[in-house]
Amino acid sequence: MSRIGKQPIAIPDKVKVRVADGKVTVEGPLGPLELTYHRNMKVEVDDKDKVVKVTRPDDERSNRALHGLTRSLIANMVQGVTRGYEKRLKVEGVGYQARMDKQSIVLTVGYANSIKLTPPDGVKVEMDAKDQTLIKVSGRDKQKVGQFAAEIRATRKPEPYKGKGIRYENEVVRRKEGKAFASGG
């Protein structure tokens, strides 16, 4: 039995969960989210205990994998509509900066042209007015927040020699030593 899949998902007070036609809809203070789950999985909402339970038909390998996945996706939706998700990125390097242009983010990271990225619906990008090196990506959908943060980071990944580039706030970049010149005679 899946250790994650068999755990029930607690439903907070301000959250409504509905299951109909192979779809789970979760509504909360931050808005609604919807998931179409696999037809082999069975999702039930227990209004009395205020929990969501996910069950599988048998112990076939694919069903075991889908069991834990479905439960995790629904749990992420519940957390997303209550607290939301957030990723923080840091821009490092001389002359490297980010700025907001209406809803888009404009990155100046050592290329000839600036890179303009527009976040998808439901994802919000914020920056500190004083410090143009900190980027905060937030939203209710964990997948969209993570994907957009990864797209920002991919514009200029941190390089190992000087550490220049865009990294996650707590990311550790392994540094390499540069060329060592022989002191010669």
More confident of the two residues 184 and 41 = 41
pLDDT band at 53; cut points 50, 70, 90: very high
Check residue 102 and give its pLDDT.
87
Mean pLDDT, rounded, of the chain: 91
CA distance 73 to 13: 19
Domains of the chain with CATH codes:
9-82 (3.90.930.12), 85-168 (3.90.930.12)
CB 90 within 8 A of CB 166: yes
* 121-157 burial: b if 16+ Cβ within 10 Å, else e: ebbebebeeeeeeebebbbbbbebbeebbeebbebbe
For the CA atoms of 77, 5, 13, 50, the dihedral, rounded to the nearest 10 degrees, stands at: 140
Looking at the predicted structure, is the pLDDT value of residue 129 above 60?
yes
Looking at the predicted structure, is the pLDDT value of residue 163 above 90?
no
pLDDT in tens, 164-183: 999 999 988 888 888 877 66
Looking at the predicted structure, is the pLDDT value of residue 185 above 70?
no
pLDDT band at 55; cut points 50, 70, 90: very high
Q: Which of 137, 35, 15 is nearest to 78 (CA)?
A: 15
